[in-house]
């Protein structure tokens, strides 16, 4: 039990034992904040997937799984996970601002930048229902993964649990886009979710201890799809 507590607290001083850090109230916050019902608006963004579907790159459950898996391994999903962890570890507003600035500097497309800032702003507004000094320490503008990481740390929500929650929610959103646009059946979408489970858990473990120097992406197809989306007609999603 002590080893588990040390693992969750790596990089931060924590004055709670493992049991308190995994209290039902912390789990409740995490599930609420990352629920599709939380008014952040992630459902309105496809992160370039709409372009990939229109181009025929993603046309069934197999190509969808490959697309998402590539982004978990090499693209924006991996980058966001590392930035969330860095925000969770950040001990002061200056460090949070530096991490947020770096996150925005690595955003490859205008629509992707708009997405991470719009959802970040919406998260801050919605999370005000849980008064926290951490909300006043956030930089402006503040990307979505930075907001989630900083507030999870302030509420003593374990880092890997937060990472799994955010990554899972992002993958669910991508699958939801494909279910509507390919279209895929709900069962096919769930099979993709199940197939990616191990990779999601592995990414959370990796991101929890990764440094900023370990950030690097080669998901060029996704980056280009995000850039081309603003020219796509007709389109349903905002990115």
Average pLDDT in the 186-195 region? 98
Mean pLDDT within 183-209: 98
Tell me what the mean pLDDT of segment 158-168 comes to.
Answer: 97
pLDDT at 10 (0 to 100): 38
Judged against a pLDDT cut of 60, whether residue 6 lies above it is answered with: no
**CB-side exposure of 139: number of CA atoms within 13 Å?**
23
Higher local confidence (pLDDT), 104 or 13: 104
50 within 8 A of 238, measured Cβ to Cβ? no
* pLDDT at 217 (0 to 100): 86
Mean pLDDT estimate for the chain = 91
Q: How far apart are CA 21 and CA 29, in angstroms?
A: 12
Average pLDDT over residues 208-233: 95
Of all residues in the chain, what percent carry a pLDDT higher than 90?
A: 88
Asked if pLDDT for residue 17 goes beyond 60, the answer is no
What is the rounded distance in angstroms from the CA atom of residue 226 to the CA atom of residue 111?
7
Predicted confidence at residue 148, as pLDDT, reads 98
User: How far is it, in rounded angstroms, from Cα 147 to Cα 33?
Assistant: 11
| pLDDT bucket at 45, cuts 50 / 70 / 90 | very high
Task: Give the tens place of pLDDT for each residue, 121-158.
Answer: 999 999 999 999 999 999 999 999 999 999 999 999 99
For the stretch 103-124, pLDDT in tens is 999 999 999 999 999 999 999 9
Q: Which residue has the higher pLDDT, 99 or 6?
A: 99
User: Is 162's pLDDT higher than 50?
Assistant: yes
Beta strand ranges found along the chain (DSSP E): none
Domains of the chain with CATH codes: 61-229 (1.10.4190.10)
Average pLDDT for 55-84: 98
- pLDDT-based confidence at 2, cuts 50/70/90? very low
pLDDT of residue 195: 98
Q: Tokens at residue 16, please?
A: 């709670």
Q: Please return the burial class of 186, using the count of CB atoms within 10 Å of its CB with bins 0-12, 13-18 and 19+.
A: exposed
> What pLDDT does residue 12 have?
39
Q: For helices 61-74 and 76-89, what crossing angle results, to 10°?
A: 40
- Cα–Cα distance for residue pair 109/52, rounded to 1 Å: 15
Q: Averaged over 180-203, what is the pLDDT?
A: 98
Binning pLDDT at 50, 70 and 90, where does residue 234 land?
A: very high
Query: 177-180 — which CB contacts under 8 Å span 24+ positions?
Result: 177/46, 177/49, 177/50, 177/53, 177/237, 178/49, 178/53, 178/58, 178/64, 180/236
């Amino acid at each position: 039990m002590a080893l588990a507590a040390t693992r969750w607290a790596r990089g931060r001083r924590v004055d709670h034992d493992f049991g308190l850090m995994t209290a039902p109230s912390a789990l409740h916050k995490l599930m609420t904040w990352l629920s599709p019902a939380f008014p952040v608006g992630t459902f309105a963004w496809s992160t370039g997937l709409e372009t990939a579907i229109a181009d025929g790159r993603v046309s069934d459950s197999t190509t969808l799984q490959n697309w998402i898996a590539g982004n978990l391994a090499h693209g924006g999903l991996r980058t966001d996970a590392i930035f969330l962890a860095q925000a969770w570890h950040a001990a002061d507003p200056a460090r949070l601002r530096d991490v947020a600035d770096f996150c925005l500097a690595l955003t490859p497309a205008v629509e992707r930048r708009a997405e991470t800032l719009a959802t970040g702003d919406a998260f801050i507004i919605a999370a005000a229902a849980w008064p926290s000094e951490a909300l006043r320490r956030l930089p402006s503008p503040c990307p979505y993964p930075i907001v989630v990481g900083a507030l999870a740390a302030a509420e003593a929500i374990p880092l890997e649990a937060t990472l799994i929650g955010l990554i899972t929610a992002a993958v669910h959103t991508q699958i939801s886009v494909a279910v509507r646009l390919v279209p895929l059946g709900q069962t096919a979408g769930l099979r993709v979710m199940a197939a990616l489970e191990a990779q999601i858990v592995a990414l959370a473990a990796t991101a929890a201890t990764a440094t900023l120097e370990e950030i690097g992406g080669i998901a060029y197809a996704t980056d280009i799809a995000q850039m081309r989306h603003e020219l796509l007609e007709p389109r349903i999603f905002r990115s």
